[in-house]
Amino acid sequence: MTCLPKNEHGCPYLLLAPMEGVGDRCFRRAMASVGGFDEAVTDFLRVSANPHIQSLARMYDFQETLPIPLAAQLMGSNEEHMANMAREIEKRGAPRIDLNCGCPSNTVTGHGAGSSLLKDPKMVYRVAKAMVQAVSIPVTIKMRSGYADTSLFKENLLAAQESGVQYITLHPRTKIEGYGPAARWELIAEAKSILRIPVVGNGDILSVQDALNMIQLTGCDALMIGRGSVINPFLFQEIKAHFAGKVYRSSWDVLLKYLETYISYMPVDVGERQKINKLKQLMGFLFKRNIALLEHRQIMLRAAHTDMNSFLDFAMPFLRSFSLSEE
């Protein structure tokens, strides 16, 4: 059975991307309240040189996005620790475990993990293989197109496939490119021509049309969307509706539920000011969506409210126009 079953009307399987710092627990829960995607994955759990496996594993909760399945992403380079961690996460009910071969952060790559694994295809193979052998659930890899350049692109893809992972998600930028230049979708098409296993296309999908273009240009098997879903939490629903020959109409009620869910699942151990800043970060993305809101973005971000209710009284009237706005 494939891990990436197509939806009705030929709509590809849709995945919510991991986004450390932005796409955290409260974001994933809020997104689940809107729905439209078929699977989510946690932002990376860092398996350090000396990990406390059990307490790290407790950060994963398979129930978070139910009924939508939630996979766990692990980042690390020590085969034994990664295998142990994968086992522990499997015990906690994960449907799938993903190996991070993409994080560009120097604090991460300095320890040989994340995108650093791409410097040596043998490392990609070893770490992934150790995880595949440790568990009975699917293991997958999410990777960039390379570290400094794409010279090892093919070798890394083949090493990943050889390790026994079920599929690869490709974010076609190198570590050095960060998030700057446009994602090179032609590399997703190239990966499709090289590999037997499925390829999930990722990078720069901001609209239904982008999703259709990526499928057409790359032939990818499924789509993963990150920032596009923070800017427009209805994007997955819009894509599904498009395949069903319909148009998804966003509503104020759904947006309100999304924001309420986001706020209600904020970490309990952070102060009011931090919570407001967190909400501002989310709204900063929402306000990018149309010209009418963009005008007010800076005013909203600079608002000096110190309690959540007064900030909401101030910001919510702006957002009403969001749910009514056109793309």
Residues designated as active site: 103
Size of the site for ligand FMN (CB under 6 A): 22
List own/partner pairs for 87-92 with CB under 8 A and 24 or more apart: 87/134, 87/135, 88/53, 88/54, 88/56, 88/57, 89/45, 89/57, 89/60, 89/135, 90/134, 90/135, 90/136, 90/137, 91/57, 92/57, 92/58, 92/60, 92/61, 92/62
Nearest approach, Cβ of 310 to ligand FMN (angstroms)? 28
Nearest approach, Cβ of 21 to ligand FMN (angstroms)? 5
- Both tokens assigned to 323: 């749910």
Residue 51 sits in the site that holds ligand FMN (CB under 6 A): no
Residue 203 sits in the site that holds ligand FMN (CB under 6 A): yes
Binding test (CB under 6 A) with ligand FMN, winner from 28, 81, 96, 171: 171
Binding test (CB under 6 A) with ligand FMN, winner from 29, 46, 81, 142: 142
Which residue reads 């796409």 in tokens? Answer: 23
Q: Cβ distance 199 to 160 under 8 Å?
A: no
H helix runs in the chain, sequence order: 25-34, 53-57, 79-91, 106-109, 121-134, 153-163, 185-194, 208-218, 227-231, 235-243, 252-264, 272-286, 291-294, 297-302, 308-324
Residue 21 sits in the site that holds ligand FMN (CB under 6 A): yes
Q: Indicate the residue among 22 and 68 with the shorter CB distance to ligand FMN.
A: 22
Q: Indicate the residue among 20 and 79 with the shorter CB distance to ligand FMN.
A: 20
Residue 17 sits in the site that holds ligand FMN (CB under 6 A): yes
Stretch that binds ligand FMN, among 160-168, 220-228, 234-242, 305-313 (CB under 6 A): 220-228
Q: Indicate the residue among 19 and 195 with the shorter CB distance to ligand FMN.
A: 19
Supply φ then ψ for residue 33, to 5 degrees.
Answer: -70, -25
Tell me the CA distances in angstroms from 195 to 163, 165, 169, 311, one per residue in order. Answer: 13, 12, 12, 50
Nearest approach, Cβ of 206 to ligand FMN (angstroms)? 8
Binding test (CB under 6 A) with ligand FMN, winner from 4, 13, 14, 18: 18
Residue 20 sits in the site that holds ligand FMN (CB under 6 A): yes
Which amino acid is located at 122 in the chain? K
Q: Is 303 helix (H, G, I), strand (E, B) or coil?
A: coil
Residue 156 sits in the site that holds ligand FMN (CB under 6 A): no
Q: Indicate the residue among 20 and 120 with the shorter CB distance to ligand FMN.
A: 20
Residue 278 sits in the site that holds ligand FMN (CB under 6 A): no
Binding test (CB under 6 A) with ligand FMN, winner from 12, 36, 76, 102: 102
Contact set with ligand FMN (CB under 6 A):
17-22, 43-44, 73, 100, 102-103, 142, 171, 202-205, 225-228
